[in-house]
């Protein structure tokens, strides 16, 4: 059990650092130079992918190789942070396109 706690230390630090980063950019994610240019009509998916990539980078930088199940737990914990909701709300479009079979795609 102590080995598991020691092994999780870098993983928990990666999660807390990701949450700290999300909180720091939540007020204006697009002002952050590392945050990608987001297609607002797919902003949720793009923001989720970006944050998961950020977390995965921190996990890899820590030299950790968690199991798929453990990584899923870390991702779920990270994405359920209130800052993630704030980021998603900021990158969504305010105006919806008319119902068309092929809506325009903006980047």
What are the DSSP calls for 56-76, one per residue?
HHHHHHTT----HHHHHHHHH
On the question of pLDDT at 107 being above 50, the answer is: no
- Residue reference for tokens 């199940």: 69
pLDDT reading at 1 higher than 70: no
Task: Give the pTM.
Answer: 0.74
pLDDT value of position 97 = 57
What tokens were used for 32?
């952050």
pLDDT over 70, % of the chain: 78
Q: What is the pLDDT of residue 55?
A: 95
**What is the pLDDT at residue 104?**
61
Reduced to 3 states (helix: H, G, I; strand: E, B; else coil), residue 54 is: helix
Q: Give the residue, 105 or 88, on which the prediction is more confident.
A: 88
Q: How far is CA 17 from CA 2, 43, 61, in A?
A: 23, 22, 12
d(CA 82, CA 58): 20
């Amino acid at each position: 059990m102590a080995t598991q706690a020691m092994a999780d230390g870098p993983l928990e630090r990666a999660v807390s650092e990701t949450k700290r980063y999300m909180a720091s950019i939540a007020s204006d994610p697009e002002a952050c130079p590392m945050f990608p240019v987001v297609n607002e009509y797919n902003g949720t998916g793009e923001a989720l992918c970006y944050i998961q990539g950020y977390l995965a980078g921190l996990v890899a930088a820590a030299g950790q190789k968690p199991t798929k199940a453990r990584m899923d737990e870390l991702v779920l914990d990270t994405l359920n942070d209130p800052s993630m909701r704030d980021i998603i709300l900021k990158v969504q479009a305010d105006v919806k396109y008319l119902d068309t079979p092929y809506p325009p795609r903006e980047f």
